[in-house]
Amino acid sequence: MKFNPQMLQVYLVIGTQNTNNDPQRLLKIVKEALAAGVTAVQYREKDGTTLTKAEKVALGRQLHQITQAKQVPLFVDDDYELARTIGAEGIHVGQSDTRADVIHQLAPDLMMGLSVHNLEELERSRSLLPVVDYLGVGPIFATASKIKVKDPIGMQGLDDVITQTSKPVVAIGGIHENNVTDFKTEKVTGVAVISAITKSSDIKNTVQILKQRGK
């Protein structure tokens, strides 16, 4: 699968730590989200996950079967071995994770996402950008979905990064149905969410609102 910025329109980030440590609930949510129009999924087992390595692989393979059936890319958060084992199409790394260029040397076919918090991190990452397909920028707003999250940068911080890169940008952090209209300009390629979907009582409606961004 080749990278296309349209993949990033509505990007679901999910792990069992977001589903009360229930793998079956995770799979159910992903199925509903894909049916509703989610365009990318990131498998992220962190922040208190209780799964063993073998359990992560088993769940990852089930998850990949579901995303493959919908021809939607599956990214794995900072776990190269897991990504290769389950056949994921991409990987996403943060500033303190395995370097993007190292992963690219090992697996140049993997699509690559890189987290950037602000302009300073963008500048520090310049040498990595040739092997990166997109940037995940944020948190934009305050969020409780991740542990050790950085301070929100707001819309101005997002704009500052966007103006200094030609890479597609996915906004992440505290984005939900009531504030997604802030992104109705074409400045961001997509929005990434966790709780907006995992805690939604109507996933179909939530995804449609996120996809349209109030347009």
Q: Known binder of ligand: residue 146?
A: yes
Q: Known binder of ligand: residue 182?
A: no
- Check residue 17 and report its DSSP letter: G
Q: Known binder of ligand: residue 166?
A: no
CA distances from 32 to 59, 66, 204 (A): 17, 11, 7
DSSP state string for 153-180: -HHHHHHHHHTT--S-EEEESS--TTTG
Question: Please, what is the angle between helix 23-36 and helix 203-212, to 10°?
Answer: 50
Q: Known binder of ligand: residue 202?
A: no
Q: Known binder of ligand: residue 11?
A: no
Q: Known binder of ligand: residue 97?
A: yes
Q: Known binder of ligand: residue 143?
A: yes
Q: Known binder of ligand: residue 98?
A: no
CA distances from 150 to 146, 159, 183 (A): 10, 17, 20
Element (H, E) at 181: none
Q: Known binder of ligand: residue 46?
A: yes
CA atoms of 16 and 29, how far apart (whole Å): 11
Q: Known binder of ligand: residue 215?
A: no
CA atoms of 196 and 110, how far apart (whole Å): 27
Here the tokens at position 70 are 């919908």
Q: Known binder of ligand: residue 43?
A: yes
Q: Known binder of ligand: residue 65?
A: no
Q: Known binder of ligand: residue 44?
A: yes
Q: Known binder of ligand: residue 77?
A: yes
How far is C-alpha 71 from the geometric centre of its chain's CA atoms?
16
How far is C-alpha 102 from the geometric centre of its chain's CA atoms?
20
CA atoms of 159 and 147, how far apart (whole Å): 25
Q: Known binder of ligand: residue 61?
A: no
Annotated binding site for Mg(2+): 78, 97
Annotated binding site: 42-46, 77-78, 97, 115, 143-146, 174, 194-195
